[in-house]
């Protein structure tokens, strides 16, 4: 018997609620401005390699306040503009932790992502494999894929040999593919093989909404008490979430790429781990800085798009459900 199950009835209700939301897939203004195509792709690949556990991370980049993963991405793009050679794979293969920390500011003052040593190891491995297999060129990697994400020889299979991208659900590979497509740097021939990147935001929304239901009492207690889960428990939850969001995609007519963007922003802004918008039943006052509003045409009236269809919005007890507690570099 499984530990979790997908509730397709809830998925249908959720799909109906988001079906009319349009995702803005235009390139982010000025993000990769001034960079040649290879350097821009290096920014996205190396960023994707260390794009995990960015909660609480934020700072100013070129006069703009950015938070979470956007902070790392914006910072790496800025560093590449200042010194395009900084992301040369030969240089990255020899990256030292002190150099990595220096990207984030003066020693002792820098707001550095958690587990910096692990991130440096992932960056070095990515560079080494890029050099060994593709001559250090991200363009060569994409050309070897023949435009494909899925199937033998596609991007998903090729990146799975890189330590940073060996997640069975390929979350970071999908982030790279989505960003490369969104920024106009690569046009995959099989965009239907872009799947939702199941991270902690998407797991939290799936669990609270009721799209994914925990049927094992022991696991349910772990989630509510914020205790570490086992590898099996973690994998089953993520797989169920992927199935649930695939259902939402099919029911809504939205691509999985669009579903990924909508629910990532819902989790990041509305369905926060602490104090989700629905808990106090008061309108949200952060629409001016809400990335969901900026990334879609959602006409925010102060409430989450899932309000009234999400089970947690109807039962405050369910807001106690959060994503599985794990230590991972997958997301």
Residue-level pLDDT at 285: 82
- Give percent of the chain above pLDDT 70: 98
What span, in angstroms and rounded, lies between the C-alpha atoms of 297 and 161? 38
- Give the model confidence (pLDDT) of 16-66 as tens digits: 999 999 999 888 888 999 999 999 999 999 999 999 999 999 999 999 999
Is the CB of residue 305 less than 8 Å from the CB of residue 19?
Answer: no
pLDDT greater than 80 at residue 282 = no
pLDDT value for 280: 66
Least confident of 41-45, 202-206, 287-291, 314-318: 287-291
pLDDT at 108 over 70: no
Q: What residue spans in the chain does CATH classification 1.10.1670 cover?
A: 4-24+195-320
- Check residue 289 and give its pLDDT: 84
Beta strands in the chain (DSSP E): 4-6, 58-61, 64-67, 212-214
Helix (H, G, I), strand (E, B) or coil at 293: helix
- Going by C-alpha positions, the residue among 210, 306, 220, 326 that lies closest to residue 259 is 306
Residue 1, pLDDT above cutoff 80: no
Give the integer Cα–Cα distance in Å for 254 and 84. 37
Could you tell me which CATH number the domain at 4-24+195-320 has? 1.10.1670
Q: Mean pLDDT score of the chain, rounded to an integer?
A: 95
Tokens coding 254: 């939205």
In terms of CATH architecture, what is 37-183? Orthogonal Bundle (1.10)
Q: In the chain, list all ranges with CATH 1.10.340.
A: 37-183
Write the pLDDT tens digit of every residue in 238-268.
999 999 999 999 999 999 999 999 999 999 9
Calculate mean pLDDT across residues 144-167. Answer: 98
3-state secondary structure of 145: coil
């Amino acid at each position: 018997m499984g530990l979790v199950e997908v509730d397709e009835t809830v998925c249908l209700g959720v799909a109906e609620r988001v079906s009319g939301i349009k995702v803005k897939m235009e390139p982010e203004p000025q993000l990769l401005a001034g960079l040649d195509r290879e350097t821009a792709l290096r920014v996205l690949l190396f960023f994707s390699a260390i794009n995990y556990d960015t909660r609480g991370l934020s700072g100013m980049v070129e006069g703009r306040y950015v938070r979470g993963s956007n902070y790392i991405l914006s910072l790496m793009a800025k560093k590449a503009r200042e010194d395009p050679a900084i992301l040369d794979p030969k240089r990255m293969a020899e990256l030292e932790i002190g150099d990595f920390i220096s990207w984030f500011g003066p020693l002792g003052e820098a707001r550095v992502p958690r587990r910096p040593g692990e991130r440096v190891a992932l960056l070095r491995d990515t560079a080494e494999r890029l050099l060994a297999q593709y001559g250090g060129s991200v363009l060569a990697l994409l050309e070897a894929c023949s435009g494909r994400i899925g199937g033998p020889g596609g991007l998903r299979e090729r990146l799975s040999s890189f330590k940073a991208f060996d997640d069975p659900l390929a979350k970071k590979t999908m982030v790279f593919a989505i960003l490369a497509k969104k920024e106009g740097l690569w046009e995959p021939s099989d965009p239907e093989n872009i799947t939702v990147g199941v991270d902690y935001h998407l797991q939290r929304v799936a669990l609270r909404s009721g799209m994914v239901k925990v049927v094992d009492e022991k696991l349910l207690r772990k989630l509510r008490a914020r205790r570490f889960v086992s590898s099996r428990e973690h994998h089953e939850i993520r797989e169920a979430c992927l199935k649930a969001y695939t259902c939402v995609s099919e029911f809504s007519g939205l691509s999985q790429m669009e579903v990924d963007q909508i629910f990532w922003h819902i989790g990041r802004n509305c369905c926060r781990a602490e104090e989700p918008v629905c808990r106090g039943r008061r309108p949200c006052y952060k629409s001016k800085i809400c990335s969901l509003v900026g990334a879609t045409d959602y006409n925010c009236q102060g409430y989450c798009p899932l309000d009234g269809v999400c089970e947690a919005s109807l039962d405050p007890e369910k807001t106690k459900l959060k994503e599985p507690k794990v230590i991972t570099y997958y997301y």
